[in-house]
Structure 1
Amino acid sequence: MGASRLEDVDWGRVIERLCYLFPPVVGVGLVGAVQEADPGVPGLRWGLVLFGTFGYTLLTLGLTTTLFLDTRRVQVVGGWQPRPWLNALFALVLAPVAGVVYLYRRHRRFGTPADRSEWWVVIAISLGTTVAGLVAAAIAYVLAMPELVVTAIGLAGTVAFGAFPIAIHRDAAYVCTRRTRWTPNPGSYLGFAFLSLFVPPLQPLLAAYYLFRRRRATGTP
């Protein structure tokens, strides 16, 4: 019965969900690593670092396992012959990149199940929050208000780390199923969203570009 249950699991969707968890886990670890101010909570800094490290390790092991299981199933289906052990090793070394690359390649063969059409709203909110945060941070810097700078950047960073990668991946999964000339690969946009977490100026540019292409292709928003 246990083997039968494993066969019923959609490992491709599990891989997606594990990838979604990497940005917030990494973000928590980074907050702990760079935190200099004393929040008045003993051990908070090291607690955040340990949470990020432990969480990243668990997600890496989870993605290594699910990539192995999904590649074995895909080989049985046919049409694509990814190597289970090679993909698992890649995930063990650099899990987020391995997950994104696999989802990109998997989509080209089998597609990605469509999601709700409203994810573009979250992308727009992420874009608005990032722009507002940058403007607020610039004003606070000019007015010599460091607390406001930290708050503005923290708010924008929270939205970008937590919501933006999920939203752009899920919305691309919806758009690519529409009968339009533009068929975005959800895996590639998830990869760019991950990259934007470490190159902050890329996030608003990516969000604006995506929304522009989406509007031209679908007429909404």
Structure 2
Amino acid sequence: MSDATASQASAVASEETPAAGGSRWWYLIAAVPVVYTLTLALAPMFTLSVVVGQPIPTAGVFLSPKVTILVLGTPAFLVTLSLPLALHQDLRSLPLDAADWSPDREAWALLGAVGLFVPGYAPVVASYYLYRRFRSVG
């Protein structure tokens, strides 16, 4: 086996070998419930501005209802959109010898993708995944 072939084989093996502590993709998964919670906490203030029809004074800048909807909706949409990828990549990096939990990457990615079509589903999937992940991996 030549040196080039050996180095390629070791590079492929290192990509397929899961890291001992997992990856940092779980940070993105954890952002989903956090962003949704912040959105729900701030939504009444923004909804009131839409109902009343008056812009909200925010640090000297008056935000129109359209801007406030974008401010709340964009982060929630982005974390929901990235959830299936984050689930798949995080599961790819977990150790395979976890005896009490052997998750299916594709199933979890599909569960995350359902959150794109069912409002409020993504934070539930992300929270349950993180619960199971930290119970088995730490």
Class of the TM-score when normalised by the shorter of the 2 chains: 0.5 to 0.7
- Give the Cα–Cα distance (whole angstroms) in 2 for the partners of residues 215 and 201 of structure 1: 22
Q: Which residue of 2 aligns with 1:186?
A: 105
Q: Which residue of 1 aligns with 2:48?
A: 142
Range moving further from structure 2, 122-131 or 172-181: 172-181
Q: Which has the higher contact order (CA 8 A, sep 6+)?
A: 2
- Give the Cα–Cα distance (whole angstroms) in 1 for the partners of residues 99 and 119 of structure 2: 30
SS of 1:182's partner is coil
Q: Which residue of 2 aligns with 1:128?
A: 34
What is the deviation of 1:133?
A: 2.2
Comparing both structures, which one devotes a greater share of its residues to helix?
1
Q: TM-score, normalised by structure 1?
A: 0.43
Range moving further from structure 2, 178-187 or 125-134: 125-134
Q: TM-score, normalised by structure 2?
A: 0.66
SS of 1:153's partner is helix
Q: How does 1:200-211 map to 2 (within 5 A)?
A: 200-211=119-130
8 A Cα contact 1:130 1:157, kept in partner:
no
What is the deviation of 1:176?
A: 5.7
Comparing both structures, which one devotes a greater share of its residues to strand?
2
Bigger CA radius of gyration: 2
For residues 191-221 of structure 1, give each alpha carbon's deviation from its aligned partner in whole angstroms, at most 9, with x where no partner exists.
01111111121000000000011111112xx
What is the deviation of 1:139?
A: 2.6
Structure 1 segments unaligned to the other structure (5+ residues): 1-112
Range moving further from structure 2, 199-208 or 122-131: 122-131
8 A Cα contact 1:176 1:183, kept in partner:
no
- Give the Cα–Cα distance (whole angstroms) in 2 for the partners of residues 118 and 155 of structure 1: 19
What is the deviation of 1:148?
A: 1.1
